[in-house]
Amino acid sequence: MTGTEPKRAARGAQAELERRIAALESVAGQGGDLDAASIAWLLALGVALPAIVLTIGWFL
């Protein structure tokens, strides 16, 4: 094994990272806005459920 393999692998990883970032930055690579169901699930799982669990844990 020579010293060029790690450098070559790093260049390949850097190129792959740049390709992925470019794909995410393009308009086609971005997802749509959240719909009403997604917002409801986020509120239910991120706010209401932890509040319920904390309240139950407080009284147990």
SS (H, E, C) 1-60: CCCHHHHHHHHHHHHHHHHHHHHHHCHHHCCCCCCHHHHHHHHHHHHHHHHHHHHHHHHC
Q: Could you tell me the pLDDT band of residue 3, with boundaries at 50, 70 and 90?
A: low
Measured between alpha carbons, how far is residue 50 from residues 17, 25, 35, 46 in Å? 36, 34, 22, 7
Q: Could you tell me the pLDDT band of residue 4, with boundaries at 50, 70 and 90?
A: low
Chain segment 6-27, per-residue pLDDT in tens? 677 778 789 899 998 888 888 7
CB 53 within 8 A of CB 59: no
Chain segment 32-48, per-residue pLDDT in tens? 788 899 999 999 999 99
